[in-house]
Amino acid sequence: MKTETLHFRVGSDAGLLLMTIAQEHLLYTLNPEKAVKTITESLSGCPVSMALKIIKGDMVVLVDEEKQEFSVIDRDEKFHSIFPKLDIPEWYKRKHKEIGEEGRELYRAIERLMNEMAKNNGMIEINFPYKSIMKFADGNIDPIFQDFKYEDKINEIKDIIRITKNYLDTTQKLWIVMDWLQVSFPRIFDIYDWEGITSNFYGRRCYFFSKIC
């Protein structure tokens, strides 16, 4: 099997791009492990402690285009303002607000559905076209199943179940990220009442979960 060696040059913005990708893995993919590996696997020999400083933005990754070398130095806002810097308190407060708003909206949708079912003795009324019923009585079940599949009420229930699952999955991942942040950046948590804030976050999730079960 023929193999070829590929050569490519690293641009001056490679360090900026690397830091941005690592932060996106942390804040959007909610995968702290991948965020750290993005740095340590790209910068050979980089310890985890330094990777954390790079992810937070306290250190920046520069590129010497001529020598094709990376260097990691302390951030100087005069020269490194274009490099991303995490604002963990702001990010958390924003996520806390989003989770609260999404949870309340989702709970109202579930409550409406439950009230509707309660009025009908735990049942949902679905209307089928006369032609589909006649074909079903004649042994042809496909039309009625198709009608069932595309029934608005059924799709509404499916959407609520899907959105609820995504909501609980996301809040669980956020909870894990919060724990990771507290361990990785303890000084930030000394300044803010993070124990109270994270307890409130966990309480929101538990309250929502208790309401739908």
212 falls in which pLDDT band (50, 70, 90)?
Answer: very low
Which pLDDT score, from 0 to 100, does residue 135 have?
Answer: 64
97: which 2 tokens?
């607000």
Beta-carbon contacts of 190 under 8 Å, excluding residues fewer than 6 positions away, are none
- Provide the percentage of residues in the chain whose pLDDT is more than 70: 69
208 pLDDT above the threshold of 60: no
207 pLDDT above the threshold of 60: no
3-state SS, one letter per residue, for 72-128: EEECCCCCCCCCCCCCHHHHHHHHHHHHHHHHHHHHHHHHHHHHHHHHCCCCCCCCC
Residue 26 burial (CB count, 10 A): 24
Q: What is the pTM of this model?
A: 0.70
85: which 2 tokens?
């810097």
Number of H helices, E strands in the chain: 9, 2
Q: Over the chain, what is the mean pLDDT?
A: 78
DSSP-based three-state secondary structure for 61: strand
Which pLDDT score, from 0 to 100, does residue 201 have?
Answer: 54
> 54-68, pLDDT tens digit by residue?
999 999 998 877 777
Give φ, ψ of 69 to 5 degrees: -125, 145
> 93-151, pLDDT tens digit by residue?
888 888 888 888 888 888 888 887 777 776 666 666 656 666 656 666 666 556 556 66
Which pLDDT score, from 0 to 100, does residue 157 have?
Answer: 78
Give φ, ψ of 72 to 5 degrees: -115, 120
| Mean pLDDT (whole number) for 146-158 | 70
Which pLDDT score, from 0 to 100, does residue 204 have?
Answer: 53
Which pLDDT score, from 0 to 100, does residue 106 have?
Answer: 87
> 27-58, pLDDT tens digit by residue?
999 999 999 999 999 988 899 999 999 999 99
Which pLDDT score, from 0 to 100, does residue 182 have?
Answer: 84
